[in-house]
Structure 1
């Protein structure tokens, strides 16, 4: 009875040792008698108890790894405190088990040395501008070396670049000065544009005024010319009408009467405009005056 119970317990232990369930995205490395035998895939796996043993367990998911902060020297001899984060994934469980005694430490150390080398080739200002180039350089170096460790380096990201306090204050002062410079330049450009706009406006206003004055002079000249033409035309028509009127019977007598009236009216106006009056010697002979005027009219005719 005791022997049967012992055999049953031994069988249960054997079965338990023989059956192994590997979780998804995991890989277990099995050694048989101290030598690599197989890699157990996710799911139910059977091994030989007491002969096979699970030596390594690897997770195949992407793993973030913090790279400790370190001091790097730039090309212009400035100290920078840099830290970052590395993302890797185990791609070959066998190499991850036997390619390196500690691939995590190896990746971390290589990331730090590669980072120091990349930053040492750049000046301080370039390190802030070319973070992507630094990240790519670290990933390229790590990926090449980690291939023999069964690890794939996916990406590296710099978290912080911290210069010394004195350098940081100097950079802030430089940024402030640069912003003030841009503000002064913008203000001067604004004043320049303002003066240009004012000058342009004054020029256009002067041109408009001159054009208006020119048009006004032209209009006045055209008005005067039209007035002179109208007066001349009216005068010509009046003379023509007078000449035609003289041709009719009694026309000459009417002209004599009109000339006499104008003669008398002219002397009356002379008397009104001044205290001194100069009269011709034959003032009493009005007929003689009219006859003289008519002789002039006949001559002009």
Structure 2
């Protein structure tokens, strides 16, 4: 009796990939489209089961992926979906591997390759992110300004302290110099009152000399005693009268 063998089909034992886009909803009621990539291969020892037990393995895999993703994602908030996509991929691989092993398929890898929320949700997330970054930038800028103000205040306080110390040292040295001058004049036979008057007059002329040595100086010394205003007015009046007399005399000489 002749025996005839016939090839029913050819199956590839190489690793293949199935990409599935699943639309689902998160725990905070945000719809997202998730792209799941599943890499699988037929087990050599179960080629018979892979061919005869499943009529359309792609549809079977797709149905399992939809069921698994829609069972996991509604338990998570949108932010958690992005943070835990590896956990989602692991859960898909684990459950899918267990379900498809009976049919001769081994799940090599499951990947979450894309998470795409609604466009309005993405815009809102971008606005939240931008606002948060602006808030952080404002805080850093405020901290920098506060540090600058504090450092300026410290520098100014240190400057005032050093300036006050310098003034105190200057006055101390002036007092010591005056004391030495009075002692020297006393030793020369001049009584303290005369010595004080002499020192005041000397300082007065020293001041005038210092002012006169500055070519760009515009300082005017005015008397500061109680009668200074009336004295200055009288002096100015006398000066004006003298100037008028000089002018009249000059005009007469010209005639």
TM-score (norm 1): 0.51
1-structure distance, mates of 2:91, 2:71: 10
Q: Does 1:149 align with 2:103?
A: yes
**Length, aligned pairs only:** 185
Moved more, 210-219 or 147-156: 210-219
1-structure distance, mates of 2:6, 2:173: 118
Q: Contact 1:96–1:103 (CA<8 Å) still a contact in 2? A: no
Moved more, 50-59 or 102-111: 50-59
Q: Does 1:89 align with 2:41?
A: yes
Superposed CA RMSD: 3.3
Alignment of 1:77-156 (within 5 A): 77-90=29-42, 92-99=43-50, 100-101=53-54, 102-156=56-110
Of the three residues 192, 195, 206, the one matched with 2:160 is 206
Of the three residues 27, 42, 47, the one matched with 1:75 is 27
2-structure distance, mates of 1:58, 1:87: 16
- The structure where strand makes up a greater share of residues is 1
TM-score (norm 2): 0.59
Relative contact order, higher structure (CA 8 A, sep 6+):
2
Structure 1: any 5+ residue segments left out of the alignment? Answer: 1-48, 239-301
- The structure where helix makes up a greater share of residues is 2
Q: Contact 2:40–2:107 (CA<8 Å) still a contact in 1? A: yes
Deviations 1:149-187 (A, max 9, x none): 333322222233222233233323323322332232233
Deviations 1:93-143 (A, max 9, x none): 242431541433322221221111111110122212222222222122222
2-structure distance, mates of 1:50, 1:154: 39
Match of 2:16 in 1: 63
Match of 1:246 in 2: none
2-structure distance, mates of 1:204, 1:198: 10
Task: Check 1:217–1:93 CA distance in 2 against 1; reply closer, same or farther (3 A cut).
Answer: same
SS of structure 1 residue aligned to 2:34: strand
Q: Contact 1:103–1:149 (CA<8 Å) still a contact in 2? A: no
